[in-house]
Structure 1
Amino acid sequence: MSLQSLAATIDARKSADPDSSWTAKLLAKGPEKCAEKFGEEAIEAIIEAVKGDTDALTSEAADVLYHLLVMCAARGVSLADIEAELSRREAQSGLAEKASRS
C-alpha cells in the first residue's frame, strides 16, 4: 500500500461508522486522541530502533505512518499538504532549512 492509498483510505473512513472502522473511531475521538495515539506509536518505534529489532521496527514504523496521517487528517492536513511542504524544502539544504526555523 502506498502512502497515497493509505491517505485516501483514511479520508474515506472519515464518514464511516465508528463501530465498524478503527480509523473512524479514532477520528471521532478528536484530534487530541489522534495525537496521543501517534505519540504512543512513535515511542514504540523508538524502542524497537534502540533494541535493533528490524522486523519490529518495520511494523512500528508502519503504525507511525498510519497514525501520523490520521492525526493530520483530524486537523485537516492532507498528505498533499505534507508533500507540498517537502517539495518546498527540497530546494534548500537541510542545514539551511533548520536555520530558517530559528
Structure 2
Amino acid sequence: MDEIWAVIEERAAHPSEESYTSKILTHSKGIDKSLEKIGEECTEFIIAVKNGDKNRISEEGADLLFHFMLALKRSGVTLQSVWDELQSRRH
C-alpha cells in the first residue's frame, strides 16, 4: 500500500497525460470523479462477494482500495492518517 501511495503522490506532483492515476486526480469533475469511481467499484465488489467469485472479489477489492486512496489524496488526507486512526481504535 505504501508503494502505491508513493506512486499516487508522484502522479499528483507530476501529472502525466498517459497516467490513469493522473487523469483521475486532475479530472475536471474534481473529487466527484474519485467518488464516482468508489461507488462503481464498491458496487462491483458487493456483487463479486454476493456471487462468491474469489478472483473477482480480489480484483474488485483492489480497485476499491486504489480508488479510495485516490479520493484520500484528492481530499488532502494522507494514507498514514487513516492507518493512525485505525491504530488508535485498538484496545
* TM-score of the alignment, normalized to the shorter chain, above 0.5: yes
Name the counterpart of 1:26. Answer: 24
Name the counterpart of 2:2. Answer: 4
Counterpart Cα distance in 1 of 2:61 and 2:35: 16
Matched, 1:39 2:39: yes
Q: Secondary structure at the residue paired with 1:90?
A: coil
Superposed displacement of residue 72, structure 1:
0.7
Percent of pairs identical after alignment?
34
Superposed displacement of residue 6, structure 1:
0.8
Counterpart Cα distance in 2 of 1:82 and 1:21: 25
Q: Mapping of 1:85-100 within 5 angstroms? A: 85-91=85-91
Matched, 1:64 2:64: yes
Superposed displacement of residue 34, structure 1:
0.5
Q: Would the aligned equivalents of 1:15 and 1:24 in 2 still touch at CA under 8 Å?
A: no
The structure having more radius of gyration, on CA atoms, is 1
Structure 1 unaligned runs (5+)?
92-102
Structure 2 unaligned runs (5+)?
none
What are the Cα deviations for residues 1-57 of structure 1, in whole angstroms up to 9, with x where unaligned? xx1111111111103334121111001111111011111001100000000100111
Runs of 4+ deviating beyond 4 Å: none
Matched, 1:52 2:52: yes
| Aligned-residue CA RMSD (Å) | 1.0
TM-score (norm 1): 0.83
Name the counterpart of 1:14. Answer: 12
Counterpart Cα distance in 1 of 2:83 and 2:13: 24
Counterpart Cα distance in 2 of 1:60 and 1:15: 27
